[in-house]
Structure 1
Amino acid sequence: MPITVYILGLIVFAMTTSEFMVAGMMSELSAQFGVSIAMIGYLVAAYAGAMTIGGPLLAIGLSKTSKKKALMLLVIIFIVGQTLGALAWNYESMFVARILTGISASAAFGIAISICSDLVPIQLRGRAASVVLSGAMLSNIAGLPLATAITQLWDWRASFWIVDGFVLLSGIVSFTLIPVLAASATQAGSEWSSFRNKSLWAAYMTSMFIIGATFAAFSYFGPILTGLSGFAASTVPWLLVLYGAATVVGNLVVGRLADRYTYPVLIGGLLLLVIGLLAFALFGHQQMIVIAALLVIGLTGITMNPAMSARVMRAGGSGMLVNTVHTSVITLGVLLGSSIGGRAMDNGYGLTAPLWTGVVLGVFGLVSIAIVKVPRMYRPAPSLRSHE
């Protein structure tokens, strides 16, 4: 695996840490800007919304630019946004900073996947994607806790500056290592034609449901583990670390299998995810079953990203627009799952509501695969005459 692929993973690690770091400094930002905690929560939503909508638009604008140059431009935009966040003098300036970083991160993720797929043989694309996406996994178990610790040790601005410097450093290293990968008008045109492929949209739909099912539960693990399962609040961080470790292991395993066994991984992973969520919902009061369910969800949910990416690239190619739209679809899944799960809980369906929401979305994910695979299984084989 080229060293460049690991550097791209570091960029993803830093940018994903920036996405979630606000969650670890809500009280400090609320006091700094004189707004409510809920208003600070909108900063997370602004980042996600910018990733969903702005990322593909930015990728379209860069579609005729070489991938290396496009990535470097996105790193610069991200650094501008992150610097603005570190210097933010009021809530509005921080909001603008989050939009800038969200837009650039979404397009950067898509281009990073596209670049890594160009650097390895086609049979290693899923494995390379797993290395890049492992940056996102590690950000949850290393980046976010470190950013929170730095905020508590110094202040929240220090966290912003450190992420800023990390992106700058990894960007410089990437610039020296990444070869020039051209993006011609013909390539850009072929990308647009990919969006007429129904298999690509089916792959997008499956990805959205997988991530939606996972985050419907993950977004509310804290209150569920304390209020439903009876764990002490001090135990929850350790359970989340256990969950995070499972995602790292699962990502590495899926990365090894994603290219050769794409559909078996997606179908088997979704089945296990639904079973884990179902067990959590039915036996949420039994702590040992809950721990086992957490491990199953961690090993399957977001760790199916390499297989999801391999399926998308198989259907639509390795272009940066195809992969950026995939990133946006994944972010949409996060918003969909967390919002539906939260709304169900607020409407009086209890702490198990997010878990049942995840079960339903997981079943929808299986259906989205079945509507593509089942008709192919029963399609009559072409006759010999058709080949003449």
Structure 2
Amino acid sequence: MPRAVYVLALGIFAMVTSEFVVAGLMPQMADGLDVTVPQIGYLITAFAVAMAAGGPFLTVALMKLPPRTALMILFSVFLTGNVLAATATGYGVMLAARIITGIASQAFFGVGISLCAQLTRPEVRGRAVAVAMNGLMLGTLLGLPLSTLVGERWGWRAAFWTITALTVVAAAATLAGVPRTDPAGTGGGFRDEVRVFRRPRLLLALSTSTLIIGATFSAFSYFNPILTEVTGFSTGTVPALLIAYGAATVVGNTVVGRLADRYTLPVLATGLLLNLVFLTGFALFTDVPVPAVACMLGIGLVGVTMNPAMVTRVQRAGNAGPLVNTVHSSFITLGIILGSSLGAVAIDGWGLRAPLWLGAAMALAGLATVAPPLIRATR
């Protein structure tokens, strides 16, 4: 595995930590910016929407540049957004900062995953994506609790300055550890990359990714209130459970990465089926601690950890270029938006178990998008 793949994981870790930091410091940021907690919550939505809508346009603007140069520009934009957040004097400035960092983060994912494909042999690309995406898993496992700890001890601005420092380290590592490569090797130009979106099998693969992530985040977004108000855990216990969940995602991502290249569709189908079982089990036994925690960890093993197989399928259906990978990331982000927002609507109507049932329904729909190509492949 090329050293550059591990360097890209560090960059992704910085991006993901910045994405999650607001969720861990909502009360402190609300006090510091003199706004309400729901208004701080909108910053999370703004980041996600900026990722989904703005990332592909920034990727298009950088397509003719060598990937390493594009990554350094993205680091600069991301760094600017984090400095703006750390020094924000009002809500409007903070909102602008989150939009800037969201757009840069999404484009970084697209260019970085495309570069993974360019630097590795086709038969190990899924494994390379898994290594890079460990930055995402470690962002869940370590980035969120560490940034929350820094923010609680030294103030929320310190958390953003810490992420700024991490970004500088990741940028320096990228400059030193990522080789110069030809931009032509990443996909073949703008027209070639746009043309592939006419392929029905690519659109089907993109919809699968949205449903996998939507199913997972409809549950993950509400683990805290579910575990405290229904399962009965204390608020002090929940962080430890979330760390265990993060550890499960690291394990699952590693396993899926090993299997994604040879067994792409079976891995996706198995992951969706198991996620359906775990989400249903969590919904049925929410008030029983042991099975509830077991199902929660199961969701960690087979939820976002499908990323290497999802990326492999999308690249085979389309190409390994930066635009395809960025648009794929946008479909993944769409799943986060749908899962969390529809989960909120479900809670308002049917209570805290409802987002778990919603996740199960989305996993079932995801199975429906994987079953036809899997059946055709086995004939």
2: CA distance, partners of 1:175 / 1:117 = 19
Q: Does the CA-based 8 Å contact 2:211-2:362 persist in structure 1?
A: yes
Out of 330, 333, 337, the residue aligned to residue 331 of structure 1 is 333
Q: Which moved further from structure 2: 180-189 or 216-225?
A: 180-189
Give 3-state SS (helix, strand or coil) of 2:198's partner: coil
The equivalent of 1:155 in structure 2 is 155
How many pairs does the alignment contain?
A: 377
With the length of structure 2 as denominator, give the TM-score of the two structures.
0.97
Structure 1: 5+ residue stretches without partners: 379-388
The equivalent of 1:269 in structure 2 is 271
The equivalent of 1:225 in structure 2 is 227
Amino acid at match of 1:338: S
Out of 300, 304, 311, the residue aligned to residue 302 of structure 2 is 300
2: CA distance, partners of 1:241 / 1:169 = 25
Change beyond 3 A, Cα 1:372–1:261: closer
> Quick check: 1:359 aligned with 2:360?
yes
Give 3-state SS (helix, strand or coil) of 1:35's partner: coil
Q: Does the CA-based 8 Å contact 2:188-2:321 persist in structure 1?
A: no
2: CA distance, partners of 1:372 / 1:251 = 23
The equivalent of 2:248 in structure 1 is 246
Aligned-residue identity in percent: 48
Q: Which moved further from structure 2: 300-309 or 148-157?
A: 148-157
2: CA distance, partners of 1:320 / 1:189 = 13
The equivalent of 2:118 in structure 1 is 118
Amino acid at match of 1:226: T
2: CA distance, partners of 1:29 / 1:350 = 28
| Higher Cα radius of gyration | 1
Matches within 5 A, 1:308-323: 308-323=310-325
Q: Does the CA-based 8 Å contact 1:126-1:306 persist in structure 2?
A: yes
1: CA distance, partners of 2:293 / 2:172 = 41
Deviation at 1:230, TM superposition (A): 1.6
Deviation at 1:141, TM superposition (A): 1.4
1: CA distance, partners of 2:305 / 2:19 = 18
Give 3-state SS (helix, strand or coil) of 1:225's partner: helix
Q: Which moved further from structure 2: 226-235 or 68-77?
A: 226-235
With the length of structure 1 as denominator, give the TM-score of the two structures.
0.95
> Quick check: 1:52 aligned with 2:52?
yes
Please provide the CA RMSD for this pair. Answer: 1.3
The equivalent of 2:66 in structure 1 is 66
Q: Does the CA-based 8 Å contact 1:202-1:372 persist in structure 2?
A: no
> Quick check: 1:350 aligned with 2:348?
no
Give 3-state SS (helix, strand or coil) of 1:242's partner: helix
Deviation at 1:345, TM superposition (A): 0.8
Matches within 5 A, 1:188-207: 188-207=190-209
Could you report, residue by residue, the CA deviation over 1:274-301 in whole angstroms, capped at 9, with x for unpaired residues?
Answer: 0000011112122111121012111000
Give 3-state SS (helix, strand or coil) of 1:247's partner: helix
Q: Which moved further from structure 2: 123-132 or 161-170?
A: 161-170
Q: Does the CA-based 8 Å contact 2:127-2:260 persist in structure 1?
A: yes
Give 3-state SS (helix, strand or coil) of 1:65's partner: coil
1: CA distance, partners of 2:245 / 2:356 = 16
The equivalent of 2:78 in structure 1 is 78
Give 3-state SS (helix, strand or coil) of 1:234's partner: coil
Q: Does the CA-based 8 Å contact 2:269-2:371 persist in structure 1?
A: no
> Quick check: 1:179 aligned with 2:144?
no
Q: Does the CA-based 8 Å contact 1:151-1:157 persist in structure 2?
A: yes
Q: Does the CA-based 8 Å contact 2:7-2:178 persist in structure 1?
A: no
Deviation at 1:376, TM superposition (A): 5.7
Q: Does the CA-based 8 Å contact 2:201-2:317 persist in structure 1?
A: yes
The equivalent of 1:97 in structure 2 is 97
Give 3-state SS (helix, strand or coil) of 1:181's partner: coil
2: CA distance, partners of 1:69 / 1:41 = 34
Out of 213, 234, 238, the residue aligned to residue 236 of structure 1 is 238
Q: Does the CA-based 8 Å contact 2:9-2:132 persist in structure 1?
A: yes
Structure 2: 5+ residue stretches without partners: none
